Amino acid sequence: MVAVTVAACGARGEEPQAEGSQTPAGSSPTAQTDGSEQTSQVDATFAATMIPHHEMGIEMTKMALEKAATPGVKQVAETAQASQQEQLPQLREIADAAGMEPMSPEPPLQELNDQQMAELQALQGEDFDRRWLDVFRSHHMAAIMMADVALATDDDGPAQALEQTIHDGQLDDVEQMNALRADLG
């Protein structure tokens, strides 16, 4: 799942460009935001792919807040939900500045997401907690790798701070989930 998500971050292997774009290979096309800042195509693509990724993450956290038996799982879900809800308007602003719509996952990845949500819905107690931790860790690792791609190709654009925040916050969550998963066996 993680590899498929990272591939989706690259917008099917290519950076989207306006029709007739003359951007040289290896450069980052930009879009004006407010006349003083520019959003690189990498930033815009990251934001456009991260919007539905965060929306899916929020769905998963809501499920954990309703079903989790382990207080630590609920705490991770609460923290992740709050940060993702806070980041969504910023991601939308970045994508909108470049005229990009949110980019839904590729059909095979969406099918996997749907299967995982159905599986989680059917579980209870610590069985739910263990599986939720496994699925949500993978979900976070995909976001971390998406942020790594954007950060590696970014030139201090206006979105770099948000990309780093997403990377670091989700990495912290993964560390907590690893400890919780070890405790649950």
Q: Taking the model in full, what pTM does it have?
A: 0.80
* 39 bridge partner residues: 31
First to last CA, the chain: 22
pLDDT surpassing 50 at residue 24: no
pLDDT given for residue 143 in this prediction:
97
pLDDT-derived band at 85 (thresholds 50, 70, 90) equals very high
d(CA 1, CA 53): 13
Degrees to nearest 5, angle at CA 136 with 141 and 105: 70
Strand (E) or helix (H) holding 29: none
pLDDT surpassing 60 at residue 25: no
pLDDT given for residue 153 in this prediction:
84
pLDDT-derived band at 174 (thresholds 50, 70, 90) equals very high
